[in-house]
A = this chain, B = another copy of it.
């Protein structure tokens, strides 16, 4: 069998983003952690870590991490029956990639009770969908929430529902840029807010109105920052309805064109052999996500 002391050292250095913190978590000296990594590399015959700040796994390192993560989840299933095998008694960690808007809205409500009852700690990674799935494939996360339904090899995907986005702006912004009403031409000239290069929601909204080509925009890679910029009158943008119920009710944000939402479907990707805990979380999410998300069109 593999030497799991060495593999645990690798996992700790990557999860704790450094040798010093890894040593703290493992209760070892820093040089002991270094030695275990070196021994692992000697056995594997190639480097498992890129020594940068923070240290990152090499390709073979990522494959080993994937293996450690799966073994940990399988061990957990056994621990309920053979509690004496449980070394540390620490809660289980689940590393999950999800999109920023899910984390800013429905995620905590959907998993809160589950995590508290099952003593699960979350390592959340905020990624857009392509990167999230890439991290699944590389074995860096146990599960992933994203807008793509195509599972990576060895994983399953489950439809959770859809996030409803509405094109919103502040009343001042609307008065300033659309004094005679929101027309496609006026909208194309007003500054938009875009989350990042991969956020095409504003493009889709304009395209549906017949506006093609580029448009001026702020870039704001933060869900809450996006809402704050919209409220601050810097631009218009597509915002998850879930995130701004209060602002909409109080009239601090106004929909540009009534009842023209964009629904983005969301999927839960999880390893097929991820163990009982991941299966239970999947079943739990299937129930709770539907309470806050809208039904997907499909």
Which residues does A use to contact B, with CB under 8 Å?
16-18, 21, 24-25, 54, 90-91, 100, 103-105, 107-109, 111-113, 115-116, 121-126, 176, 191, 196-197, 213-214, 216-225, 228-229, 231-234, 243, 246
Contact = CB atoms under 8 A, between A and B. Distances in A.
A126 B222 contact: yes
A152 to B, nearest CB: 18
Given A17-B197, A214-B25, A219-B122, A116 B233 contact: yes
A123 B218 contact: yes
Contacts of A121: 191, 216-218
Nearest to A235: B121
Contacts of A243: 224
A116 B243 CA distance: 24
A211 to B, nearest CB: 14
Contacts of A113: 233
A218 B104 contact: no
Given A108-B232, A228-B109, A222 B100 contact: yes
B91 A24 contact: no
B216 A103 contact: no
Contacts of A115: 218, 234
A76 to B, nearest CB: 16
Kindly list the 5 A-B residue pairs having the minimum CB-CB distance in the complex, ordered from nearest. Answer: A112-B232, A108-B232, A103-B225, A108-B228, A17-B197
A222 B108 CA distance: 12
A47 to B, nearest CB: 20
B222 A104 contact: yes
Nearest to A223: B224
B104 A191 contact: no
Contact of A104 (B17, B111, B228): B228
A225 B116 contact: no
Contacts of A223: 222, 224
A204 B104 CA distance: 26
Contacts of A196: 17
A232 B112 CA distance: 5
A206 to B, nearest CB: 14
Contacts of A103: 220, 222, 224-225, 228
Contact of A105 (B220, B228, B229): B228
